[in-house]
Structures are given as structure tokens and as C-alpha cells.
A and B are shown apart, each in its own frame.
Chain A
Amino acid sequence: MRSAKLWSWIALAAGMLYFFLPLIGMFEFSLRARRGEYSFDAYANVLADPRFRETFGYSVLMALFTIAFGILLVVPTVFWVRLKLPRWRPFIEFITLLPLVIPPIVIVFGYIRLYNTSSWLPLTGSAMGTNLLLMFGYTMLALPYMYRAVDTGLRTIDVQTLTEAAQSLGAGWITILSRLILPNVLVAVLSGAFLTFAIVIGEFVLAALLNRPAFGPYMVWMGSNKAYEPAALAVIAFGVTWVCMGLIQLVTRLSKHTRAQHR
């Protein structure tokens, strides 16, 4: 018994080392910008760079639009599939998983071929059109996570009976979706939203090939041109992701009525 416990501690420690040693090393390296002493010079350089602010701001904005579009697309879809097309569920689920097996490079070349300036819908012809295209691409990359999260959220409520109850009280589809379905899957939607945020902030391929000033390409550019700043940037990116994870935990605990779903 005692030795089993000892071994599990050893395994845990090995795992922690495996995960944290590179991070610690990177963090340590990012502090060495000044010769002979630790300093936050690299961080100051990164934060002072106007391109950091521009690209980070652009990516945050794109993430917010992607989240909004993803919610508008996924919540009604999941609701409708659960309510009216339960037989289609495995098929739809399969489609939402496709982004995990199709590389983004394939998708972005498809986009460029389909929507280039000499195509029937020249989205790449303008910055706004390309932004739109990028947002669609991000939505697709986030689809597996968003769909799963919302689907799991809807599983905890009796969608059909609640919908029928609302209908018998005179509610139409928009009321049902906005006042019943969305509030009841809000926690799931938010966890999907934070995952989407993390994906969009770090994404490189789509943004680079569509030539948009996003944070991912900036990180890569930084990595090939500077010594200490990329490490500082990576630590910042990790920080953002972890804050997102923490927020998922927080909203899951904060919602008041969710206990009703676990009766």
C-alpha cells in the first residue's frame, strides 16, 4: 500500500517535471535579456512594440467575432438536430470533427482557390472580405470544440419537453432559443468560447496565408528575428491561455441554476 502510494508520487513528479521543466527553462531564458542579471527587459520590449499591440488587438477582435458567429451557428444547429433530426446526429457530429483531421493548410488553399479575385465571390479582393474569410476559417477550426460543448450542455436538459412547454405558452422559435436554450447552455457556450479564443489567438496558418496582421504570424516573425523576446511572448501567450482555462472553471461554478440540471 505504502509503496504503491510512493510510486504514484514518483510518477506525478516525473510528469510535472516533463511538463514544467521546459516552461521554467523558457521563463528563465526570457528573463536573461540583460547580461549578468535577471530582468523583464524582453517583456518590456515586447509590450512596447506597436506591432504586438496591433496584432494582439486584431486577434482578440477576430476571436470575439468568431465566438459570436460560432454561437449563432452552433446553438440553433445543435438545438434543431436534438429536437427534429436525432437520426442525423452521428452524421453532423462527424462533420464537426472533420477540422481535426483536415489540415488548415488544405482549407486555406481551398479558400484561396474558391474566393480569389477572379472567382465568382472575390472575398480575398478586400481586407474586409479577407477578414470575413479568416473568421469563417477560425469558426471551422473551433467547430469540434464548440459543437461538443454545446451538445453536452443541451444533454443536461429535456430539450423537447421544455420546447413544447414554451410553445404551449405562446413562445416562438426566437424566444425559445434566446430565453430558454441559450441561458441553459450558457456555461457550455462559454467554455466553448474560451477554447475558441485560445485557438484564434495562437493560430498561424490561416492568418499567414491570408496575409492578415494576426498574433500568430507575429509570434513566428518574432521567433525568427529576436533572441529573448520570443520566449517572453510565449510566456505571455501561455498566460492568456491559462487565464481562459481559469475563466472556464469560474463560470462553471458561478452559474446559479445549474444544480437543477444535476438532480
Chain B
Amino acid sequence: MAFLEISRLEKSFGPLHVVRDFNLDIEQGEFVSLLGPSGCGKTTVLRMVAGFETPNHGAIRIEGRDMVRQRPNQRKIGMVFQAYALFPNLTVAQNVGFGLKVAGVPRREAADRVAEMLALIGLPDLGGRYPFQLSGGQQQRVALARALAVRPRVLLLDEPLSALDAKIRVSLRTEIRAIQQRLAITTIFVTHDQEEALSISDRIVVMNGGIAEQVGTPFQIYNHPTTKFVANFVGTLNTLPAEVVDPSAGIVRVGGQTIRLPESLERAAGTRIGLALRPEALHLGTAEGREVVLPATISDVQFLGSVIRVRAETQGASVALDTFNRADVPPPQVGSPAQISFSARDVIVLEH
């Protein structure tokens, strides 16, 4: 039995079906991200776990006990909001200690816990300040400390980094992950940012239209997306036009060459399909182990420092690929002819 079980969860707002048959088991201490575009139902799932929305159907169990009937303030679930939601009339220390005071924790014990929490988030000296005297990143760290101070069973993070600057976003997400691992607290993280989800999660749930499209580790999600939506939403995807030759053997023709894909295809011979490839699976020029070589024309070059992002036209499609920058090799010229190579093993075959 998993620590947190969500089974057959359904939620509608009027005629709008926001969450459909959502199932997820989370182990104790696991960090799971709900990833998806806005309106995919990820926040609604989180709010149902917190108790702010009531599901139309389904169960949410923590350690085997159903939570659906319990009020939000009985669930012992910590939550961090996108808008920080610090209490403006209380100091940082009073904010962090709010839940402890509500729970009736003795004053000295509460003060110790507050100090411990402020040390944990690296702001030990700011207890006397008011929220308006803090930066956005500091406020969100205080919100995290406030949620953790009451030792919740589950921590919910509702796009906690979206309102912050790019640099603070990266440093704070690393910090959140470190704190989560140190406390081994079961965490659900909602985000629409794939990089965030990929970098800090144990597992990712990619959601679309109220459905969990795929559940897996970041490695699985990125390298083996099972649906077209997941493949497109997570990372960049190139599509090359191809024609099915022998579906059972997985043989297709692309640019006059026949290649054998790692899997068989469920399409009739002669159907035109798209071959999906990650930018890092494509190589500029020829290389050993990349048996498919296609002629191409360079259409755009972006110098990004350590990486050069190249766009090239081939077989009537525009593809993106990355090459590492090397000081002794000048970047390719726009309009010049080139060769693109890849391995049939790297082609992602999508279910639909």
C-alpha cells in the first residue's frame, strides 16, 4: 500500500470536466511533479488533496485513511502557494509559528521549532521582519518554512517558483529539493515548467485535459514519451516525414533510405508517418554509429555559449539540433549545405 493513494478521482465545475479518472500512488518521501499546460487539471488535483475542492468521485487516502470527508484544517497537509500568501500583519517568526500556535504547541517548543525552520531556509536573522520587508524569494522560503513547521504528512507546492526571477527560481528549486530530501517529506509539486519538473522530481505525472497522460521518472518521460502530447510538451521534438515499408519489422523509408526502427509499427505499408527525434539525437555531419545520413541546408544558427543551436531544412521539414561549441571550429554558416546524421535507435515511436 502506497503512503498517498489517489484513485479514480473525478472533478467537474458545472459542465466542465476538469479531472477525469486520475490515479496516482506516491511512496513516503517521494517527490512527484504534476506537469502540464494551464487548464490541464493539475492544480485542481492538488487542491483536492489539500481539501479546498471536493471531488465528485474517487478517493484520496493517506496511510490508508480516506481524506475526502476531512476538512482542510484536519488533514495535516502543508501547502505553499504561488502568491506566497504570508500573513501581512504577522512577522516572519509569527508566520512560521502560526500553525504551531493553532495546534497549541507550548511557547518555548514553538520558538525552538521556528528558529530551527528559519535556519533550515537560511534566514535565521529575519524572524522580526514583516513580509513586505522581504524579497519574493525570501517570502517564498518563509512560506515553505511555515508549511513545514507543523511537520505535515504531505507537502503540496502550487507553482511556488512562477512568480520569481529566473535566477532565484533555479537556486530556490535546488534548495527546495535539498530540504525535501533532508526531511524525507512526501511532496507533490505542480508546475507548467518542464525544466523545473525534470530537474527536481523523483517522478513526473504529465497531465493533459484532466488525464494523466504518462507517469514516470524524468529519464523515462523525456527519453520514452508514450504519447505525442508528452513528447511535444516535454523537451523539443523534431519530426521527419517517412513512409512505412514493412510495419511488422519496423522498416520505414526516409529520404530514399530504408531504416529499421527499434519497434514494430501498427500502420499499414505505404502510410506516411512522422519520425520523432530529440535535438541531441541529431548530429551535424557524419559520425560513427549514426547510420542514417540526410542532406540538409542550414537555415538558422543561434550561438548560446557552450551550445550552438542549429536549424536545418531537410526532406521538407525544419529540424533543430544542438552542437557543443568548440573554440577551434567556427559555427556553421546560414545557407550552406550540410549533412545530418542520426541512429534509427534514437527514433521515438509514439503510440498515437
Contacts and interface: CB of A to CB of B under 8 A. Distances in A.
B85 A162 contact: yes
A93 B87 CA distance: 27
B83 A161 contact: yes
Contact of B88 (A157, A167, A179): A157
Interface residues of B, number: 31
B329 interface: no
A257 B130 contact: yes
A22 to B, nearest CB: 43
B31 to A, nearest CB: 19
Contacts of A169: 73, 78, 98-99, 102, 146-147, 150
A15 interface: no
Interface stretch (A117-125, A170-178, A195-203, A217-225): A170-178
Nearest to B130: A257
A256 interface: yes
Interface of A: 157-158, 161-162, 164-172, 175, 179-180, 183-184, 256-257, 259-261, 263
A261 B88 contact: yes
Contacts of B143: 165
Contacts of B88: 157, 184, 257, 260-261
A164 B53 CA distance: 11
Contacts of A261: 88, 132
A158 to B, nearest CB: 6
A168 B132 CA distance: 22
Interface of B: 50-52, 71-79, 81, 83, 85-89, 98-99, 102-103, 130-132, 143, 146-147, 150, 156
A166 B83 contact: no
Contact of A175 (B75, B76, B81, B102): B102
Contacts of A157: 88
Contact of A165 (B85, B89, B132): B85
Contact of A164 (B74, B75, B79, B130): B79
Given A168-B147, A169-B98, A169-B146, A260 B50 contact: no
Given A257-B88, A257-B89, A260-B132, A164 B102 contact: no
A184 B131 CA distance: 13
A166 B86 CA distance: 9
The 4 nearest A-B residue pairs measured at CB: A260-B132, A169-B99, A165-B85, A167-B72
Contacts of B85: 158, 161-162, 164-165
B102 A168 contact: no
